[in-house]
Amino acid sequence: MAACRKLTKEIASELIPKIDTVLCDCDGVIWQGNNVIPRTAETLNKLRQKGKRVFFVTNNSTKSRRQYLQKLTKLGFDAKQEEIVCTAFAAAAYLKHSVKLEGKVYLIGMEGMAEELELMGIPYTGIGPDHASGYDFEEWANLPFDPEVKAVLVGFDAHISFHKLIKAATYLNNPDCVFVATNEDLRYPYNSNVIFPGTGVIVQAVKSAGQREPVVLGKPSKHLFESISKSFSGIDPSRTVMIGDRLSTDILMGRNCGLKTLLVETGINSGEDALENERSDSKEQQQLVPDYYIPSLGDLAEFL
Amino acid sequence: MAGIQHIGVGPDVVDRSSTIDDWACLPIDPEVKAVVVGFDEHVSYHKLVKAATYLSDPDCLFLATNEDIRFPFETKVVLPATGLCVQAVKEASQREPIVLGKPHKYMFLSIAKSFGGIDPKRTVMVGDTLATDIMLGKNCGLKTLLVETGLNNRQDIAENRFSKSAEKQKLVPDFFIRSIGDLGNGVLS
């Protein structure tokens, strides 16, 4: 594989004509929380003007496609709903079309996931707070269970609790109960001294409680890319670039799917992290190397 | 009782309408120098944020009581135990704790330190769980007796004895008995 290179104007002028499709991660690439990263909208607009298709591919399970469209529009991005590939939608589509689920979902997740399940016509239970009142085995031994639950779906849940973990573990004790997780990102990137555990921590808690492994849909799994190439014709992996801030999810998915990969430094990882991986003796680390890196997606606007 | 100040016990509930901007303002106490994790039925996202933030200081100590995965009670529900809370804080902080409970040696070593004349070869560990009780016994050179009134039984022993895994083969006690009560009735009378 060619060495990882910093994206310059010259390299960009060679690369861009070879690209038809742009997959763009969101957190740490085009925004940080609710703050848009400068000139990223301009970059994506210029890529569209050059005839490139743009998709927003995010592991963040807290919003539905409709909510992402609202956020994108509010922050000044051109977008259509079908260009948004988020794990809340992917999970509902997977349960409906791949699993062909007949029954309810026990949902550990937020309103965005509930909305996508509703739109797909899949009934669910469990969303929202579910607190233990105290150290009370009687209460735990008599928690209500719904016999119609045939799947446990886990995404980010700010209301994760011991009760929810008992329920998930008990549902998952039936080997026929399907177990799906949106993603396993361990940290949510946010500029503060406070550390935000990501969905991966919630998923690990359910894995640990249930002693089972889920099907994980989000990056680095190939699922999100495969769902795009199934739904849209003419997607050529060798003419597609994945732009992301995280080596272990965005870049790894890109490599797993035979895409070109571009790391931006406005989120989790830096070019230095990539170069360190390239120098590493570990075959695993060597997979976590993009083709290119650039300080910010906004810088690409200058080159276009 | 040991005169160590602590904060964090009890419910720490996430408000329905709160967002990440609110969680970024959660109170972080600069006097905290250690995070201790045991069983907590009030485990919550707030607590994981706080623990991960305290533990981002490499000088902050990280202790866990034990890592048992399930409570060994007969119920129709599956009851995850302390191991769940500890695993969640490990993942959230990306750090490994010092684990004090079985099968780690700490608890036997603290007995041996506090009481004179404890000879491991003349000590028996009696327990119901192969992975914690019996493992502790093996780790400390004790004799080991499994009782069948809790989590494991003789079938589990046989599975381990004939397992291909070297790790599992270690989890075979010297003796097993249906119940500790049988020892009182039959053998010691």
Res. B74 pLDDT band, cuts 50 70 90: confident
Helix, strand or coil, per DSSP, at residue B182: helix
Q: Is the pLDDT of residue B189 over 90?
A: no
Q: Looking at the complex, does the CB of residue A67 fall below 8 Å from at least one CB of chain B?
A: no
Res. A1 pLDDT band, cuts 50 70 90: low
**What tens digit of pLDDT does each residue of A167-183 get?**
999 999 999 999 999 99
Q: Looking at the complex, does the CB of residue B14 fall below 8 Å from at least one CB of chain A?
A: yes
Q: What pLDDT does residue A284 have? A: 93
Cα distances from B115 to residues A148, B110, B143, in angstroms, run 56, 9, 19
Q: What pLDDT does residue B187 have? A: 64
List the catalytic residues of A.
25, 27
Q: What pLDDT does residue B20 have? A: 86
Contact between B115 and B82 under an 8 Å Cβ cutoff? The reply is: no
Q: Is the pLDDT of residue A158 over 90?
A: yes
Q: Is the pLDDT of residue B40 over 70?
A: yes
**What tens digit of pLDDT does each residue of B82-94 get?**
999 999 999 999 9
Q: Looking at the complex, does the CB of residue A197 fall below 8 Å from at least one CB of chain B?
A: yes
- Chain A residue with CA closest to B89: the answer is A201
Q: What is the three-state SS of B57-125?
A: CCCCEEEECCCCCECCCCCCCCCECHHHHHHHHHHHHCCCCEECCCCCCHHHHHHHHHCCCCCHHHCEE
Measure in Å the smallest separation between the Cα of A189 and chain B Cα atoms: 11
Chain A hits for B75, Cβ within 8 Å: 137, 140-141
Q: What pLDDT does residue A206 have? A: 97
Chain A hits for B45, Cβ within 8 Å: 157-160, 197
Q: Is the pLDDT of residue B183 over 90?
A: no
Q: Looking at the complex, does the CB of residue B141 fall below 8 Å from at least one CB of chain A?
A: no
Chain A hits for B20, Cβ within 8 Å: 33, 188, 190, 196
Contact between A170 and A201 under an 8 Å Cβ cutoff? The reply is: no
Q: What pLDDT does residue B188 have? A: 67
CA A91 to chain centre: 11
**Average pLDDT of span A279-285:** 94
**A195 with B83: Cβ contact below 8 A:** no
Task: Give the pair of three-digit tokens for residue B119.
Answer: 């000879």
Q: Is the pLDDT of residue A29 over 80?
A: yes
The pLDDT > 90 percentage for chain B reads 85
Q: Which of residues 69-98 of B touch A (CB under 8 A)?
A: 69, 73, 75-80, 83-84, 87-88, 91-94
Q: Is the pLDDT of residue B168 over 70?
A: yes
**What tens digit of pLDDT does each residue of B128-142 get?**
999 999 999 999 999
**A with B: how many residue pairs have Cβ under 8 Å apart?**
114
CA B27 to chain centre: 28
Give me the DSSP letters along chain A: -PPPEE--HHHHHHHGGG-SEEEE--BTTTEETTEEPTTHHHHHHHHHHTT-EEEEEE---SS-HHHHHHHHHHTT----GGGEEEHHHHHHHIIIIIS---SEEEEES-HHHHHHHHHTT--EE--S-----SS-HHHHHT----TTEEEEEE---TT--HHHHHHHHHHHTSTTSEEEES----B---SSSS--B-HHHHHHHHHHHHT-PPEE-STTSSHHHHHHHHHSTT--GGGEEEEES-IIIIIHHHHHTT-EEEEESSSS--HHHHHHHHH-S-HHHHTS--SEEES-GGGHHHH-
Contact between A41 and A30 under an 8 Å Cβ cutoff? The reply is: yes
CA angle A26, A151, A130 (to 5 degrees): 75
**Average pLDDT of span A112-127:** 97
Distance separating alpha carbons of residues A160 and B12, to the nearest angstrom: 12
**B45 with A194: Cβ contact below 8 A:** no
Please, what is the average pLDDT of chain A? 96
Q: Which of residues 127-156 of A touch B (CB under 8 A)?
A: 128-129, 131-132, 134-137, 140-141, 143, 145
Chain A hits for B52, Cβ within 8 Å: 195-197
Contact between A123 and A106 under an 8 Å Cβ cutoff? The reply is: no
Distance separating alpha carbons of residues A160 and A181, to the nearest angstrom: 14
Among B133, B57, B146, residue whose Cα is nearest residue B101: B133
Chain A hits for B73, Cβ within 8 Å: 137, 141
Res. A263 pLDDT band, cuts 50 70 90: very high
Q: What pLDDT does residue B141 have? A: 97
**What tens digit of pLDDT does each residue of B53-66 get?**
999 999 999 999 99
- Chain B residue with CA closest to A173: the answer is B78
**B20 with A160: Cβ contact below 8 A:** no
**Average pLDDT of span A239-254:** 98
Helix, strand or coil, per DSSP, at residue B152: coil
**What tens digit of pLDDT does each residue of A180-191 get?**
999 999 988 787
Task: Select the residue of A157, A165, A172 nearest B84 (Cβ to Cβ).
Answer: A165
